[in-house]
Amino acid sequence: MPEVNFNIQWPDGTKQSCYSPSLVVKKYFTPGEKYELAEFVEKSRTALNIASDRVKQAYGFPCSKALKQLKQIEAKATEYQQLSEAQVLLIDFTDL
């Protein structure tokens, strides 16, 4: 399965490289686009669950690394919930 990192910038300028075991994230995000915090979390949740399900179909078990990445995104997003216009920038993708 082709793996990919999607590189983001949080509302405070912190950059993070996020992992997906599938290229499906490229269907949900566009490099250079900013996403409202809740939208980014929801798109990440959808894409990473689909990616994990694809691993399960291929190998018989879900991708723990994708699910861990989702939990990290959700936890980090809570730090910015108080900001009225918090946005996450999708910088780019790095194919692995």
Q: What range does the domain containing 58 cover? A: 4-95
- Mean per-residue pLDDT, 41-63: 97
DSSP code per residue over 27-78: HH--TT-EEEHHHHHHHHHHHHHHHHHHHHHHHSS--HHHHHHHHHHHHHHH
Q: Per-residue pLDDT for 1 more than 80? A: no
The count of structural domains within the chain is 1
Global pTM reads: 0.95
pLDDT tens column, 76-86: 999 999 998 99
- Mean per-residue pLDDT, 57-73: 97
